Amino acid sequence: AQSVTQPDIHITVSEGASLELRCNYSYGATPYLFWYVQSPGQGLQLLLKYFSGDTLVQGIKGFEAEFKRSQSSFNLRKPSVHWSDAAEYFCAVVNRGGTSYGKLTFGQGTILTVHP
């Protein structure tokens, strides 16, 4: 079964600093990967997704992620964090076959705190 691990439960950065959120996945075939963000009291918003092709994916709000098959990773990055980026971030993989076709499996999430 597929799984997603986000090793960092909570990360604190200063405004203007760079950010990297880690995500490791386990999936038998080529994974389709996503990063979502959730602000308090809100639903999830898609930041970016990777299906195939260029392993460096650009998303909204200045985020990017790099797919590394050899490391089973899909880390999210941002060169300069803004206070409004404080939220919880989820990495996810979608099941592309079998009885759970289309099901998203999420990591446990990483809470980002931004200091002024």
User: What Cα–Cα distance (Å) separates residue 53 from each residue in 28, 32, 68, 107?
Assistant: 18, 11, 12, 23
Query: Which residue in the set 51, 61, 71, 82 belongs to the binding site for another protein (CB under 8 A)?
Result: 51
**Piece of 17-25, 59-67, 68-76, 106-114 that binds another protein (CB under 8 A):** 106-114
**Piece of 8-16, 22-30, 66-74, 93-101 that binds another protein (CB under 8 A):** 93-101
- Coil, helix or strand for 92? strand
11 counts as binding another protein under rule CB under 8 A: no
Check if the beta carbon of residue 11 is closer than 8 Å to that of residue 112: yes
By CB neighbour count within 10 A (0-12 exposed, 13-18 middle, 19+ buried), where does 63 fall?
Answer: buried
By beta-carbon proximity to another protein, the closer residue of 74 and 81 is 74
Q: At its nearest, how many Å lie between another protein and the CB of residue 81? A: 23
How far apart CA 34 and CA 57 sit, in angstroms, is 10
Which single residue is written with the structure tokens 């797919």?
67
Q: At its nearest, how many Å lie between another protein and the CB of residue 34? A: 8
Q: At its nearest, how many Å lie between another protein and the CB of residue 23? A: 14
Which residues are at the interface with another protein (CB under 8 A)? 32, 36, 41-46, 49, 51, 90, 92, 94-96, 99-109
